[in-house]
Amino acid sequence: WTIHVSVFQVVMKIIKHYQEEGQGSEVVQGVLLGLVVEDRLEITNCFPFPQHTEDDADFDEVQYQMEMMRSLRHVNIDHLHVGWYQSTFYGSFVSRALLDSQFSYQHAIEESVVLIYDPIKTAQGSLCLKAYRLTPKLMEICREKDFSADGLKKASVGYENMFEEVPIVIKNSHLINVLLWELEDKSTAADKHELLNLSSSTHLEKSLQMLMDRVDEMSQDINNCLFFIPLQYIQRRQQENAQRQSRGEPPLPEEDLSKMFKPPQPPPRMDTLLIASQLSTYCQTIKEFTSQNLGKLFMAEALQGTSSYS
């Protein structure tokens, strides 16, 4: 499974979409079109979802998509729905909404993917476009809507195997390749130096901030977990049992706990799982970023060293 993405029709369009409509933490979304060829998914075109405003609440998205696809078909462009794309802000995209919509896509069209475009990383000099799919296990769970602890346990779904990343190959038509070659000749050297930008603290700070927020959420979830069990009663019972054991008496049965306390609704596991997944994504991006930056710093040091020696 690989995904082939055409630069001009897809990547540039997504970037353009974000540049025009998204700013800050705002997210832009759109539809991917393409077709499955042998063992690869070729994404050949896309179109954006229009930005919602308050005054056209009755706007029908499905209707719009159908219209769009029909129109595209009329001009003989691939019109098969193969997924959707979304921009992200400092790598925060793992959310319930994404899970739900990706599930419904994958449920309807088996080969659907979601393309995540990170504009901030791209702005730093390296295009960041990633494709994700839900793992079959997660699909199973979502289909059964069983997000309880037991369900997740049975399906052995952890935060690390919720999403699978699909490798992307970016393909250009030869004409475009030629154009790019020509452009490269013309471009000045300064344009490429974005990649060597050494200032990293703002980006890191931001990432850390987001990370911290998630950690807070996580802590809260764990606290909820702690207090949802009738803690004090259990402790008392345990102490009692320990005493009884020391006296050689049979311990009191513990099953009656569930009878005495109406088992409260266990806290939903899925949110915690998503947060964990998001955390790991953050860590991943920070790790990548820092390793890159370290490299850059060493490079800069080396350069400075030579210049000072000379």
Partner 1 sequence: MISEDHVTLKTGVMMLKIQDLLLSDDEEDTKRVVRSAKDKRFEELTNLIKTIRNAMKIRDMAKCLEEFEQLCRAFLKSKTIMDKEGVPQFYIRLLADLEDYLNQLWEDKEGKKKMNKNNAKALSTLRQKIRKYNKDFETEIASYKEVQSCSPDAFTSSSGSDDDDDEGITAKSLLKKKPQEEEKKAPEASKFLKGAADEESESEDDEESEDWGSDSVDSGSESEDNEGAAASLAVVFLKKYDSRRKKHKKKERLEEEADEEAEAEEGGWEKVKGGAPMVKEKPKMFAKGTEINSAVVVKKLTEILQARGKKGTDRAAQIELLHALAGISNENNLGEGILIKIKFNIIASLYDYNPNLAAFMKPDMWKKCLECIDELMDILFANSNIFIGENIAEDSENLAISDQPFRVRGCILTLVERMDEEFTKIMQNTDPHSQEYVDNLKDEGRVCGIIDRLLQYLETKGSTEEVCRVYLRRIMHTYYKFDYKAHRRSLGLQGETKSEQDQEESEGEDSAVIMDRLCKFIYAKDRTDRIRTCAILCHIYHHALHSRWFQARDLMLMSHLQDNIQHADPPVQILYNRTMVQLGICAFRQGMIKDAHNALLDIQSSGRAKELLGQGLLMRNMQERNAEQEKIEKRRQVPFHMHINLELLECVYLVSAMLLEIPYMAAHEFDARRRMISKQFHHQLRVGERQPLLGPPESMREHVVAASKAMKMGDWRTCHSFIINEKMNSKVWDLFPETQCVREMLVRKIQEESLRTYLFTYSSVYDSISMETLSEMFELDLPTVHSIISKMIINEELMASLDQPTQTVVMHRTEPTSLQNMALQLAEKLGGLVENNERVFDLKQGVYGGYFNRDQKGGYQQKQSYQRGKHHSHQRDPHRSRSCSPVLLTCVGWMQLL
Q: CB of residue 201 vs partner 1: minimum separation in angstroms? A: 5
Q: CB of residue 304 vs partner 1: minimum separation in angstroms? A: 17
Cβ neighbours around 47 below 10 Å, total: 18
Q: CB of residue 204 vs partner 1: minimum separation in angstroms? A: 6
Q: How far apart are CA 75 and CA 243, in angstroms?
A: 82
Q: How far apart are CA 224 and CA 237, in angstroms?
A: 22
Q: Does 294 bind partner 1 (CB under 8 A)?
A: yes
Listed residue (144, 21, 242) closest to 47, CA to CA = 21
Handedness of CA 94, 100, 105, 111 (dihedral sign): positive
Q: CB of residue 77 vs partner 1: minimum separation in angstroms? A: 43
Q: Which residues contact 244 (CB under 8 A, 6 or more apart)?
A: 250, 251, 252
Number of residues forming the site for partner 1 (CB under 8 A): 43
Amino acid of residue 137: K
CB closer to partner 1 out of 18 and 132:
132
Q: Does 283 bind partner 1 (CB under 8 A)?
A: yes
Listed residue (142, 167, 168, 143) closest to 274, CA to CA = 142
Q: Which stretch binds partner 1 (CB under 8 A): 8-16, 110-118, 146-154, 188-196?
A: 146-154
Per-residue contact string for residues 9-28; x = within reach of partner 1 by CB under 8 A: --------------------
Q: How far apart are CA 115 and CA 18, in angstroms?
A: 13
Footprint of partner 1 on 187-246 (CB under 8 A) = 201, 204-205, 208-209, 211-212, 215-216, 218-219, 222-223, 225-226, 229-231, 234, 238
Cβ neighbours around 215 below 10 Å, total: 13
Q: CB of residue 166 vs partner 1: minimum separation in angstroms? A: 23
b vs e for 234-247, b when ≥16 Cβ sit within 10 Å of the residue's Cβ? eeebeeebeeeeee
Q: Does 148 bind partner 1 (CB under 8 A)?
A: no
Q: Does 144 bind partner 1 (CB under 8 A)?
A: no
In the chain, beta strands by DSSP E? 2-6, 29-37, 40-48, 81-87, 113-117, 129-134, 163-166, 168-171
Per-residue contact string for residues 58-97; x = within reach of partner 1 by CB under 8 A: ----------------------------------------
* Inter-residue contact 128 to 122 (CB < 8 Å): yes
Q: Which stretch binds partner 1 (CB under 8 A): 8-16, 88-96, 100-108, 249-257?
A: 249-257
Q: Which residues bind partner 1 (CB under 8 A)?
A: 149-150, 152-153, 156, 158-160, 201, 204-205, 208-209, 211-212, 215-216, 218-219, 222-223, 225-226, 229-231, 234, 238, 254-255, 257-258, 261, 263, 276, 279-280, 282-283, 286-287, 290, 294
